Amino acid sequence: MDVSILLILLLTGAIATYLSGDKLASKVALIFSVAALVITLMLVNMHAQGQSLDFAQVWVTNPKIFFALSGDGLALAMLLLTTGLLPIIIYSSFGSTYNNAKTFYGLIMFMAFAMAGTFLASDGFLYYIFWELSLIPIYFIALVWGNGDAESRKKAVLKFFIYTLAGSLFMLVGFVYLFQKTGSFLLTDLVKASLSETEQTWIFFAFFLAYAIKIPLIPFHTWQAKVYQKAPFVGTILLSGIMLKMGLYSIIRWQLPIAPFAARHYMTILISLGIAGVIYGSIVALRQKNLKRLLAYSSLAHVGLIAAGAYTLTIDGFRGAVLQMLAHGFVVTGLFIVAEIIERRYNTQEIAEMGGIRSQAPKLTSFFLILVMASVALPTTFNFVAEFMVLFSLSQINMWFAVLGGSTIILGAYYMLKMFQNSMLGETNTKLFADVTFSEGTSLVLIVGVLLFFGFYPKPLLELITPSLEQILAGINNLDQLKQTVQ
């Protein structure tokens, strides 16, 4: 068995969900999403036993394009994030009603298929196709089933679509140029391309535009808060929990190995940009009165720190960045689920209209508090392990980077605890607020369980990702030294 079976299952799930009709769509999607998680766990077990999971077949003969998939530890970690969150996202949506449910859940499954393909692809052209395919379902999910008036929703979603598409076109140009140099789109061939310092710089920043918009990094973030606010909560979770990780993952998988000299040359600028996002996102989050917008800017701060860790070009930075991708995915999913639960009850996203929920919903309050603590990297939570490794890697480059990057913990604690206090505590709200339902509680239990388990015991994930990351870093260092010697 190889990793192609997972893509076949997800694509089949998308088709079956659509054909099942509106009444059964959510249940069919849930069944296929759980099956996808089971297959992923089986693949991880096979990888641990030393079995190769790679798949490669010639897809197009002229130009030669391979349907090539790589199932190394890094890719499997991202598949665990995707297939681990997918059933939770679908199950937590059972509390909401969606018109044309078969299309809605079919798009969710198709988006999961495209994102999984992006994480697995080892041919640049195939990777680009999956990258763009993932944009189509989220565009329609946010446009058709989003919140607010139709006009403002259309503007926000269209801006997101144009931004991400434009950035991706620069990446496509970079791939075409590399193909002209090597005659191949395979990653193993692209990293061997003989590129001058100038060529590396152009390729590096062509990729950077695509990734910086998708993540997003400042100043390419202007689409984020509005789309997070306007999208249905399922769309927001897909964006923040999984889709933005495509850009962060691609930095390590594609950008750095192809242009290592440029990456090292511009390291200080790139790390500074990531840390600037930490500070900016945290400061703007302090001023937010809308819960989903606050969580959006909180996410901006966290992904800035992840990007900074990846650009350190150290093994600790790589491991910390990947662990933080996984931890952030589960934390932000849990936070947006809580935000959706509150909106279902109160029909508002405004924090000022909340408050006093604790006395009526102690279970929800307890889940929310744990998620808030995880978000601010409290020890014994998954985020603490990840952020510590990222900050340690930054200290290896420059201690001031670690000090400034660590501000996310201090600022994050302030605005997250303030938000929790204003939304949950205080006098009992005059509006009735029912505590979590079984489906809502189950989703939150699973998320909290993951955050606490890997907060105490991250070893399985470290053993999964470290060999792949060490191999990538060794290749970067070898090519960097070789190209510097040649030049």
Identify the burial level of 8 via C-beta atoms within 10 angstroms of its C-beta, where 0-12 means exposed, 13-18 middle and 19 or more buried: exposed
pLDDT at position 475: 84
Q: Look at residues 142, 137, 100 and name the one whose alpha carbon lies nearest to residue 10.
A: 137
pLDDT at position 435: 86
- Percent of the chain at pLDDT exceeding 70: 98
The Cβ of residue 108 has, within 10 Å, a number of other Cβ atoms equal to 27
pLDDT at position 486: 45
Residue with tokens 């607010």: 148
How, if at all, do strands 65-69 and 55-60 pair? antiparallel
pLDDT band (50, 70, 90) for residue 428: confident
Alpha-carbon torsion 359, 362, 364, 368, what sign?
positive
CA dihedral 273, 276, 277, 280 (to 10 degrees): -150
pLDDT at position 434: 84
Cα distance between residue 487 and residue 229, in whole Å: 49
Give me the phi and psi of 60, to 5 degrees please. -125, 135
Identify the burial level of 229 via C-beta atoms within 10 angstroms of its C-beta, where 0-12 means exposed, 13-18 middle and 19 or more buried: buried
User: Does residue 111 surpass a pLDDT of 80?
Assistant: yes
pTM, whole model, 2 decimals? 0.94
Q: Look at residues 248, 252, 222, 282 and name the one whose alpha carbon lies nearest to residue 405.
A: 282
First to last CA, the chain: 44
Give, to the nearest 10 degrees, the angle between helix 362-375 and helix 438-456. 30
Give me the phi and psi of 55, to 5 degrees please. -140, 135
Cα distance between residue 458 and residue 396, in whole Å: 22
Q: Are 213 and 187 contacting, i.e. CB atoms less than 8 angstroms apart?
A: no
pLDDT in tens, 143-193: 999 887 788 888 889 989 998 999 899 999 999 999 999 999 999 999 988
Q: Can you give the length of the chain in residues?
A: 487
pLDDT in tens, 11-40: 999 999 999 999 999 999 999 999 999 999
Q: Partners of 66 in the beta sheet? A: 58
Look up residue 286 and give its amino acid. Answer: L
Q: Which residue has the higher pLDDT, 224 or 250?
A: 250
The 3-state DSSP class for residue 89 equals helix
Residue 389, CA distances (Å) to 66, 210, 245, 272, 419 in order: 36, 26, 18, 18, 27
User: Does residue 346 surpass a pLDDT of 90?
Assistant: no
Look up residue 32 and give its amino acid. Answer: F
